[in-house]
Structure 1
Amino acid sequence: MEKPVRKRLILSLLCFTIAAFAGTATQVYNYRLKTIDGEPTSLAKYKGKVLLVVNVASACGFTPQYSALEAIYEKYKDKGLVVVGVPANNFANQESGTEAEIKTFCNRKYHVTFPMMSKVSVVGADQTPLYHYLTDKTANPAIGGDIKWNFTKFLIARNGTPVNRFEPAIKPDSPEVISAIENELNKK
């Protein structure tokens, strides 16, 4: 085989390998959680949807954000938005209840209909793999970094790539968040 042909073949294989790896390594679809009812679920079931993944807590000053999360879910779900609530008890023991207690609280107080997951850890040595990925500065340099408190919001594009992060004080129905959601929903 001539050198230029061999070089092109090697480069083509290398590019294909890199593209294949990049297509899967940078997607939230590779991660699994359990639903609030304890059923294993893969985030791959949301492939093609825009996700807003939020670590939530029932006894936090930001807990009223559930209302806005539910409102934007209701407004945009038919356009492809899925809000995913992920309870975590990492900050000041603000989510100390059981999954059943969390579910009852969310349903009764905020009428939550968006998918809720089982409680996980979003920081520390026992951090769930999804949150390890979302906060990894190497994988996600623009949005990575430790979670500081409850109700940190990650916006995930239809291709499974994290594209934006909103800190707890930024309300889900703020112009900044709504604009980012609509921008992602308008991409097909």
Structure 2
Amino acid sequence: MNPLKAFVGTLTTTDNDEVRKASRSIYDIDINNLQGKPLDLSEFKGKKILFVNVASKCGFTHQYRDLQELYEAYKDQLIVIGVPCNQFGNQEPGNSNEIQEFCEINYGVTFPVTEKIDVKGPNQHDLYDWLTRKAVNGKQNSIVKWNFQKYLVDEEGEFVDYFYSVTKPMNSRITKYLK
């Protein structure tokens, strides 16, 4: 018998799920935009992607302005994607329309913003499973500690690094990857 077939035949459903997740590209992950329509991450191949879990009632909310500045300054090579999350102090209570209006009116946000998701815990979205687990992203484990934590993925969809909330979007720790 083929040794690979013999090995695969011994895998449990959980093991198969782990193998499937580990071999999945960031571009294969399904997520919707704020309007509930699929946001095709593969459209961003060839650009770096900065994923940021955002919230409208957080001490770091002013970073929306800096994220927009970063997006405009590097839009030829970078896409910023805001990912609303209400898991930290209930600081993103709004619905999709309220979130979109808040971002546009207060910060002039033009970069994509996704549906509200869980970035940790038992209902963690597949996007953050990929971003936070070395077994899936191939590079590094992390824990999302608060709103406005940032994750950078390169032009080929490879995990690069993550940055805690206190790292401002225009900080050289981030921009060094864009020069």
Deviation per CA, 1:78-130, whole angstroms, max 9, x where unpaired? x2210000000110100010010000000000000001111011010000001
- Match of 1:180, SS state, is helix
Aligned pair 1:46/2:44, yes or no? yes
Partner of 1:91: 88
Aligned pair 1:133/2:130, yes or no? yes
The percentage of aligned residue pairs carrying the same residue is 41
Cα displacement (A) at 1:146: 1.6
CA RMSD of aligned residues (A): 1.8
Cα displacement (A) at 1:26: 5.5
Partner of 1:73: 71
Unaligned stretches of 5+ residues in structure 2: 1-18
- Match of 1:66, SS state, is helix
In 2, distance between residues paired with 1:160 and 1:74? 21
Q: Which amino acid aligns with 1:44?
A: S
Unaligned stretches of 5+ residues in structure 1: 1-20, 183-188
Cα displacement (A) at 1:40: 1.5
**TM-score, structure 2 as length reference:** 0.84
Larger Rg: 1
Aligned pair 1:147/2:122, yes or no? no
Q: Which amino acid aligns with 2:69?
A: A
**TM-score, structure 1 as length reference:** 0.80
Aligned length: 160
Cα displacement (A) at 1:28: 1.0
**Residue pair 1:27, 1:159 contacting (<8 A) in 2 also:** no
